[in-house]
Chains A and B, each alone.
Chain A
Amino acid sequence: MKIFEPHIHMFSRITDDYEKLALAGVRAVLEPAFWLGQNRTHVGTFIDYFDTILGWERFRAQQFGIHHYCTMGLNPREANDDRVNDAVMEILPRYLEKDSVVGVGEIGLDDQTEKEERYLIAQLELGLRHELPVLVHTPHRDKKRGFARCIAILQDMAYPMERVLLDHGNEETIQITREVGCYQGFSIYPFTKMDENRMVAIVQEFGVERMVINSAADWGVSDPLMVPKTIVKLRQAGVAEHAIQQLVWDNPVGFFAQTGRLDAAELSQPPGFDRRETFDGNSVLRGQDPTR
């Protein structure tokens, strides 16, 4: 089964993870620009980070047979930081036009401050201007209210809901999002947010329409194989193969293909690679024999 992992921060992961993802059937990953675990102090570090996920990280993924795409945005945590917020907004338009950028994100709300809302709205306007889908991070605290607030903002702007993915959902939020017509993401974590068994129950109750699942794996305790592991649980529960394929491939591919920058036919084959190839003079081999 082909898998599109629609939310994973490979910037923070090691090459073993790429090997395991490829073996588990992950054909493509989507890396949302996000927070790095501590606040950045000037825009230059954002520029270097954006360039890395467009450049080296994409190359690194290809060296393991995985297509790599990303979304660009000012994350809600650092939207609160006046050392970087306006300067990042200034550089975003050129980054939103890069070839492997298929959306604006992660944007959204975290602490649900007035500043977070202001930069969320400004980035939704960028999404409209650049005709891109948006990947919206929702708060981990006071989530239901955060979901409702994100939806209110989107509705105020008459944002086309088929181009919105509200992420980090759970059993409570699905009731809200089903009615507004947007996509909903479920981040399957080893111990928090949502686990595989709860996800199975959601699929059995609500189906897979406009739903995606992801690992949201990053620099913390997280598991990049959560999507393949959830597939196993879904099969064991008797969920039909076509429904699983829709959940882990058709839905995420269809959502991000709205950009016109993601070719489903090209995605269906793994990228060709040669580990002797270099990016800016660097290969992933670190001096090892490419034939081993």
Chain B
Amino acid sequence: MADSNRAEPLPGLLDGLTADARGWLDRARADGDLPVLFPQLPRRLGRIAMGGGVQRHSGATLDLGAWRTCDGGALLLLETRTPSADELVDLYLRGDLEERTMVLRALACLPLGSATATLLGEVQRSNTVPHFAAAVCDSDLLIRARDAGVLDADDANRMLLKLAFVDLPLARVFDATRLANTELSRMLQDLASEREAAGRRVWRDTNLLIAHAPTAGTLARIAGGLEHGDDAHRIAAARGAAHIADPVLLRLARERLDREPSAAVRTELAAALRAAERTP
């Protein structure tokens, strides 16, 4: 686990705390039973948005826009007290909704290992969207866990399929397109077809992610996406078309550009066409 002597607070954390809160955190880092301290974090440190944008911390890249003061305090406590994998999993399993959120958000900055795999497995089984988002979104945890072999390809595919199922934006999972593969594309396309048959909404980023690993049916889906009634779907399709650079898709994108009513989508289509022209 982390070297507790070198545990550093996230940028801006201490500035956002009152003197009482800082004093409590100092004492908690030094002493006390972690399962008793952990539920107190939101009460003691508050749930104030930290802000600060994308940062590097403990080998991870994370967006502090998603973090609150209690999350930052939880991470500092965990990096200082260095609980074992079993203790960390116990904090999650016996935690209330807030405690679970704090453990999962901190996970990105804690050493990759068995607790990472166990806790990602737990959120995968749960449909609690805030917990899934706290674990998988706003950091590069998923790609690092896959690169380190903590997750295998099937695990990563299931997590990205769940991301689509609970309708969270692909952009919140850093470097997620590196995890694209044809099996995942098939899974996403099947989910989209099932949703369409049921008259339900399809994940807006489907056409972007499948473009990174095309399989049977991918081109037709993206072509359809260029004419979708929802702006977000057309943007994803335009980006997908730019990535694949297939001549038919580019011709359809050019046709769409002249008729496209949304300025945001026109920008994406124009960018897709410029990128294709630069491609040898």
Residues of A within 8 A of B (CB): 47, 51, 54-55, 93-94, 97-100, 260-261, 278-281
Contacts and interface: CB of A to CB of B under 8 A. Distances in A.
Given A47-B94, A55-B97, A99-B96, A278 B127 contact: yes
A55 B97 CA distance: 7
B43 interface: yes
A219 B171 CA distance: 49
Q: Which 4 pairs between the two chains have the least Cβ-Cβ distance?
A: A281-B127, A94-B35, A97-B39, A98-B39
B131 to A, nearest CB: 9
Contacts of B37: 97
B36 A54 contact: no
Contact of B128 (A47, A93, A261, A280): A280
Given A47-B94, A55-B97, A97 B36 contact: yes
B267 interface: no
Contacts of A94: 33, 35-36, 38-39, 94
A51 B42 contact: no
A99 B128 contact: no
A99 B39 contact: yes
Contacts of A279: 128
A281 B128 contact: yes
14 contacts: A54-B96, A94-B35, A94-B38, A94-B39, A97-B36, A97-B39, A99-B39, A99-B42, A99-B98, A261-B43, A278-B127, A278-B128, A279-B128, A280-B126
B84 interface: no
B114 interface: no
Contacts of B39: 94, 97-99
Given A93-B36, A94-B33, A94-B35, A99 B127 contact: no
Contact of A93 (B33, B43, B98, B126): B33
A281 B42 CA distance: 24
Contacts of B33: 93-94
Contact of A280 (B38, B42, B98, B127): B127
A269 B43 CA distance: 21
Nearest to A91: B94
Contacts of B36: 93-94, 97
A260 B44 CA distance: 11
Nearest to B34: A94
A47 B90 CA distance: 12
Contacts of A93: 33, 35-36
B135 to A, nearest CB: 15
Contacts of B126: 280-281
Contacts of A278: 127-128
B94 A51 contact: yes
B262 interface: no
B193 interface: no
Nearest to B42: A99
A44 to B, nearest CB: 11
B40 interface: yes
Among B37, B96, B98: residue with most chain A CB under 10 A: B96
Contact of A98 (B96, B127, B128): B96
Contact of B40 (A47, A97, A280, A281): A97
A153 B269 CA distance: 78
Given A54-B96, A97-B40, A99-B43, 5 more contacts: A97-B38, A100-B96, A280-B126, A280-B128, A281-B126
A100 B43 CA distance: 11
Contacts of A261: 43
A70 to B, nearest CB: 11
Nearest to A130: B36
A100 B39 CA distance: 10
Contacts of B98: 99
Interface string B83-114: 00000000000101110000000000000000
A56 B31 CA distance: 32
Contacts of A47: 94
Contacts of A100: 96
